[in-house]
Amino acid sequence: MKDLSFIKGIGPKTKGYLEKLNIYNINDLINHYPFRYEILKRSDIFNLNQDDKIIIDGFVDSVPNLFRFRGNMNKMSFRLRTSTAIINVVIFNRGFLKNNLSLNKEITVIGKWDLLKNTIVATDIKLEGLGDDIKVEPIYHTTSNLNRKNLSHYIDEALKMTTNIIDYIPESIVSKYSFLDKKSAIDIIHHPSDATTLKRALLRLKYEELFIFMLKINILKINNQHKIKGHSKVADSKAVKIFIDNLPFKLTDDQLKAVDEIIDDIKSDRVMNRLLQGDVGSGKTIVAVVAIYVMFLNHYQSALMVPTEILAQQHYDNIRKLFGNIDINIKLLIGNTPKAEKESIYNDLANGKIDLIIGTHAIMQSVVAYNNLGLVITDEQHRFGVNQRSNLKNKAVRADILYMSATPIPRTYALTIYGDMDISNIRTMPKNRKEIITYLKKPDEIKEVLTMIKKELELKHQIYVVAPLIEENENNDLENVNKLKRQFELAFGSVYKIGMLHGKMSPKEKEKIMEEFSNNKINILISTTVIEVGIDVKNATMMVIFDAKRFGLSTLHQLRGRVGRSDLQSYCILISDKEKERLKIMTETNDGFEISEQDFKLRGQGDLFGVRQSGDMTFKIVDLKKDFKILMQARKDAEIFIKNDLIDDYPHIKKLLEESVNLD
């Protein structure tokens, strides 16, 4: 696999930027697909309304004025001469384009139309005219110090160098569905000429990804059912009952049912491979704690793996309290753990002195050796893909595995993508939890929203504020967080501490901000969706989500689940000027299972030119909600492929599967 340095212009620095996007070689580069597409079609300004999106070409009619403010921020303005009018253009933080905007230069401007001021508030400027053509433009995820133009250039160079692309769809299936060949599909994905051919290319690549995915799922399922034998354990029902009765709260019926299902798995001679689904705050952790206790009674070690360090710390603190006076040795292993302590933990794990280890994925690294690992629990299962599931099984050869997810999904959907697992659901919430009251507000009702926020702050409660998701440019996410922070500082900054959290921050910076919010040193946290998972602040009672229409219902529900973590009455405020009917369900129910069903129905078919939001980040191009029909067909084909014992006939498919699942 060729190194990135073979491409002219990619030196050590650029290589580092690309690695942030998980691009390490030429193959990764050509498989860095656009996350969405934009149709560039010339707008008729005489048929546009206030704030409509506008795409128009013309000629630069004045020397651009550049105004700098607030450090590195800037504003540029100039006149654009079109075939029908002279229009003012304003664009922020694109000052570097000034030298390219010479008088009479033909350009295309994309932005929002301000009818009253005869002005385009631009989001992008293309340094070429559009004319009467219609273009389909790919939009890539990029990172700071690496713009889309350069990234596109590197992808083009990689495509020129790549001739031998491995096709993972058997010839019979390619023929059956009249699929494009893979090389053509990849070329079209990066250089679409029209929507029709793009759809064919997307279908071809999505099918391949889902076909391989379903092969892996089916093999894991076969392994789980027939081949992987575990060690049966004894469940001391009397000791377990005493433990549950001594908890500071009463378990719900759903929690007790899940406990029974897990204990039955633990007692059997087959390795447990179970998914525990339940809303945020439904009490999945205590179910896992009971399973850990059963393992402890059987003298087996347990490991709890979570996606963030702060969540690991929170679990560590809470679980130690739940075990009370029981003599169980619990340790925390995270990035911040001092080196000497890490070495001590490694030794104690290997010697069997530690009963429960809690940490991030570090607890499953090769350097970590267990003495008698009996149970592995992963929290926030939707963050771990099928490859990670298989790696976990390989690491914990005969250990029982429990996956936990706070992202409930429809039953048929779950049985397909988690077909290698048994599933337990917790639908009821603990009795001390009050339902979160959700309001839907228009942008012009912001004063009322601020009054509600002030009331919660006066009660010494904390607030989350989520910035809108802006499609066009990742940097805009950061600008919007900054903008909201400035606005909230004007409203509350003289009295309350306001913090900011976004994806551009380093992991250490994120952890520091979340820790300060957890410790009530920050009263209002302005954030992007990075707070969707991994922070549990019981004093936070209000979630305010700007431009809520830009999020799926399941994402909104996950964000809402960051509040209501105690017996305090909590609120969620959705601010949106559109899609009231779709968002209305959020005001009517707090049931994540019901919301996921509605979300699936509403977004199942998807929109070719919308934003791709995949829950399982192992997919490069698939959105499981939108591509469910393709998934179901790929499942059928994969089952037939395995049933007919065809894997050995395709060495390249066999090799790919061997890298992620056990074929023995």
Assess whether 34 and 62 both reside in one domain: no
pLDDT of residue 470 exceeding 70: no
Assess whether 248 and 355 both reside in one domain: yes
CATH number at 315 reads: 3.40.50.300
Q: Is residue 649 part of a domain?
A: no
> Which of the pair, 473 or 135, is modelled with greater confidence?
135
pLDDT of residue 215 exceeding 60: yes
- pLDDT for 533 equals 56
Assess whether 238 and 266 both reside in one domain: yes
CA angle (120, 123, 128) in 5-degree steps: 85
pLDDT-based confidence at 499, cuts 50/70/90? very high
Question: What's the rounded Cα separation, in Å, for the pair 452 and 2?
Answer: 57
pLDDT-based confidence at 613, cuts 50/70/90? very low
pLDDT of residue 394 exceeding 80: no
Distance of CA 225 to the CA centre of its chain: 30
> Which of the pair, 235 or 91, is modelled with greater confidence?
91
Assess whether 326 and 445 both reside in one domain: no
Q: What is the pTM of this model?
A: 0.67
Assess whether 400 and 509 both reside in one domain: no
Query: What count of other Cβ atoms lies within 10 Å of the Cβ of residue 340?
Result: 8
Q: Is residue 180 part of a domain?
A: no
- pLDDT for 597 equals 78
Edge-to-edge order in the sheet of strand 498-501: 437-441, 571-575, 540-546, 462-466, 524-527, 498-501
pLDDT-based confidence at 606, cuts 50/70/90? very low
DSSP 327: -
CATH number at 104 reads: 2.40.50.140
Q: At what angle do helices 237-245 and 284-297 cross, to 10 degrees?
A: 140
Amino acid identity of residue 353, one-letter, is: K
The predicted model gives 493-501 an average pLDDT of 92
pLDDT-based confidence at 258, cuts 50/70/90? very high
- Averaged confidence pLDDT in the chain: 85
Q: Is residue 173 part of a domain?
A: no
> Which of the pair, 397 or 192, is modelled with greater confidence?
192
Question: What's the rounded Cα separation, in Å, for the pair 319 and 205?
Answer: 44
Secondary element (H or E) of residue 301: strand 301-305
Q: Is residue 550 part of a domain?
A: yes
**Do 120 and 90 touch, CB atoms closer than 8 A?**
yes
Indicate the number of domains in the chain: 4
| Segments in 536-627 forming alpha helices (H) | 553-560, 580-588, 592-603
Sign of the torsion angle spanned by Cα atoms 407, 408, 409, 411: positive
- pLDDT for 662 equals 65
Residue where a domain stops, chosen among 401, 426, 451 = 426
- pLDDT for 464 equals 95
Question: What's the rounded Cα separation, in Å, for the pair 74 and 365?
Answer: 45
The predicted model gives 112-131 an average pLDDT of 89
Assess whether 445 and 514 both reside in one domain: yes
pLDDT of residue 74 exceeding 80: yes
Give the range of the structural domain holding residue 12, as residue numbers without chain letter: 1-41+151-164
- pLDDT for 604 equals 46
Q: Is residue 218 part of a domain?
A: no
- pLDDT for 614 equals 34
**Do 615 and 624 touch, CB atoms closer than 8 A?**
yes
- pLDDT for 473 equals 44
Percentage above 70 pLDDT, the chain: 89
- pLDDT for 66 equals 94
pLDDT-based confidence at 320, cuts 50/70/90? very high
387: left (phi > 0), else alpha (psi -120 to 50), else beta? Answer: alpha
Q: Read off the pLDDT of residues 537-562 as tens digits, 9 standing for 90 and up.
A: 889 999 999 988 888 888 888 889 88
SS3 call for 21: coil
Assess whether 120 and 66 both reside in one domain: yes
What's the burial of 183, exposed, middle or buried (CB within 10 Å: 0-12/13-18/19+)? Answer: middle
pLDDT of residue 385 exceeding 60: no
- pLDDT for 609 equals 36
Secondary element (H or E) of residue 260: helix 253-267
The predicted model gives 108-132 an average pLDDT of 89
pLDDT of residue 107 exceeding 80: yes
pLDDT of residue 471 exceeding 80: no
Assess whether 48 and 25 both reside in one domain: no
Assess whether 409 and 320 both reside in one domain: yes
DSSP 138: E
Q: Tokens 């908890």 belong to which residue?
A: 247
**Do 537 and 507 touch, CB atoms closer than 8 A?**
no
Q: Is residue 205 part of a domain?
A: no
- pLDDT for 616 equals 41
**β-pairing, 571-575 with 540-546?**
parallel
Question: What's the rounded Cα separation, in Å, for the pair 546 and 434?
Answer: 24
Q: Is residue 610 part of a domain?
A: no
Assess whether 247 and 300 both reside in one domain: yes
Q: In the beta sheet, which residues pair with residue 54?
A: 111
Assess whether 397 and 509 both reside in one domain: no
- pLDDT for 364 equals 79
Q: Is residue 106 part of a domain?
A: yes
Question: What's the rounded Cα separation, in Å, for the pair 513 and 550?
Answer: 25
- pLDDT for 612 equals 36
Assess whether 276 and 315 both reside in one domain: yes
* Phi and psi angles of residue 567, each rounded to the nearest 5 degrees, phi first: -85, 5
- pLDDT for 142 equals 86
Q: Read off the pLDDT of residues 323-344 as tens digits, 9 standing for 90 and up.
A: 988 999 999 998 888 999 999 9
Q: Read off the pLDDT of residues 505-537 as tens digits, 9 standing for 90 and up.
A: 777 788 788 889 989 999 999 988 766 555 678
